[in-house]
């Protein structure tokens, strides 16, 4: 009995630590309305703006008031938004038009349309090389754009279908390869692949977040898992338990927490300081709220959501169609730390 007391004390202390940890709650619903689906969100923390891709436009919200302050319209099928380090320029992957749209962050006017590969999806700006990387899902490559001249520098072939990407801001870029269960590491200066790492235990990796201090990548996967990879070695060091049908990830550098937004209607909060990366909270959100953005200025998390009607009839091209989005129901769910 005496020999078991230290172990029992350790368990009690660990439990107390988790019980006293940061918790999150839904604090607001920002109504946007309109029709159609959505994809990624992106936060410009210095300008207090949230960019929400929404069908053929990008909605822009004030993160202080939650009000829509404008939109970038006339697009075809928006996916992602990235921001230049100049503080003035933004980039949108317009998948339906196979192009990257360059816009002015001050007045939201479109400055240029740059041809990309087939169906550009995730998009990233690399401050080390001053390049924009558009990852083309259907053509399985990346279009590399010079951010100053707005010209295409290269098309980099990839060994699989790219999903979300992150940059370490020192010249390395990492992208999930969804159909290969791998991560590709690229050198942004030479615009070449330098490594491909297996994500053992991770099926169809989609969203990715990054801890630039401890050199960790967090890839959300089918099968209710988040793969944690050491990006100095390429080794998977943990498979954390998350909710089902995830599509995006986030990381809070201050609180050392990772997040997974799950299509089943939950947000998983992972404590990255604990061995095994345990889930310290599973917050109920809304069914289909599978994309998110983390606001480093406030600690808030924003998720796109809507209400659904019946799914259309299956076809040969779409054997498992998604339910239709009810017109006018599109919104952003705001989650904030409350403890």
What is the token pair recorded at 270?
């992972």
Let me know how many helices (H) and strands (E) the chain has, helices first.
1, 28
Which residue do the tokens 């009607």 mark?
309
What sign results for the dihedral spanned by CA atoms 307, 270, 162, 88? positive
Q: What is the pLDDT of residue 20?
A: 57
Q: Digits of tens for pLDDT over the chain (339 positions)? A: 334 444 443 333 334 344 557 899 999 999 999 999 999 999 999 999 999 999 999 999 999 999 999 999 999 999 999 999 999 999 999 999 999 999 999 999 999 999 999 999 999 999 999 999 999 999 999 999 999 999 999 999 999 999 999 999 999 999 999 999 999 999 999 999 999 999 999 999 999 999 999 999 999 999 999 999 999 999 999 999 999 999 999 999 999 999 999 999 999 999 999 999 999 999 999 999 999 999 999 999 999 999 999 888 889 888 888 888 999 999 999 999 998
Q: What is the pLDDT of residue 16?
A: 38
What is the token pair recorded at 190?
């030479």
Q: What is the pLDDT of residue 322?
A: 82
Which residue do the tokens 């949230």 mark?
50
Residue pair 154/113 in contact by the 8 Å Cβ criterion: no
CA-wise closest residue to 24 among 262, 289, 331, 257 = 257
| Domains in the chain: ranges and CATH | 23-48+204-228+244-309+320-339 (2.120.10.30), 75-198 (2.130.10.10)
How far apart CA 76 and CA 167 sit, in angstroms, is 27
Phi, psi of 113 (to 5 degrees): -120, 125
Spatial neighbors of 67 by CB under 8 A, at least 6 apart, are 30, 61
What is the token pair recorded at 12?
């009690």
What is the token pair recorded at 92?
């949108």
Helix residue spans in the chain (DSSP H): 5-19
């Amino acid at each position: 009995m005496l020999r078991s007391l230290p172990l029992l004390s350790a368990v009690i202390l660990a439990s107390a630590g988790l019980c006293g940890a940061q918790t999150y709650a839904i604090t607001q619903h920002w109504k946007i309305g309109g029709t159609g689906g959505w994809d990624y969100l992106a936060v410009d923390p210095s300008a207090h703006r949230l960019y929400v891709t929404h069908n053929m436009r990008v909605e822009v919200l004030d993160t202080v008031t939650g009000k829509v302050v404008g939109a970038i319209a006339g697009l075809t099928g928006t996916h992602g938004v990235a921001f230049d380090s100049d503080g003035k320029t933004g980039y949108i992957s317009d998948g339906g038009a196979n192009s990257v749209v360059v816009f002015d962050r001050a007045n939201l006017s479109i400055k240029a349309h740059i041809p990309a590969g087939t169906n550009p999806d995730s998009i990233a700006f690399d401050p080390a090389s001053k390049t924009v990387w558009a990852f083309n899902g259907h053509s399985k490559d990346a279009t590399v754009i010079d951010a100053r001249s707005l010209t295409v520098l290269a098309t980099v072939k990839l060994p699989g279908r790219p999903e979300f990407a992150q940059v370490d801001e020192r010249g390395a870029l990492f992208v999930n390869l969804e159909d290969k269960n791998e991560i590709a590491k690229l050198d942004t200066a030479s615009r070449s692949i330098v490594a491909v790492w297996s994500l053992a235990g991770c099926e169809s990796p989609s969203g990715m977040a990054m801890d630039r201090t401890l050199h960790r990548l967090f890839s959300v996967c089918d099968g209710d898992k988040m793969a944690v990879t050491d990006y100095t070695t390429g080794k998977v060091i943990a498979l954390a338990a998350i909710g089902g049908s995830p599509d995006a990830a986030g990381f809070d550098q201050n609180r050392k927490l990772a997040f997974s937004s799950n299509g089943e209607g939950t947000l998983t909060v992972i404590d990255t300081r604990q061995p095994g990366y345990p889930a310290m909270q599973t917050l109920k959100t809304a069914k289909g709220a599978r994309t998110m953005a983390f606001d480093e200025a406030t600690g808030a998390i924003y998720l796109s959501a809507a209400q659904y009607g019946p799914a259309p009839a299956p076809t040969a091209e779409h054997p498992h169609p998604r339910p239709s989005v009810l017109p006018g129901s599109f919104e952003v769910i705001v989650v904030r730390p409350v403890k």
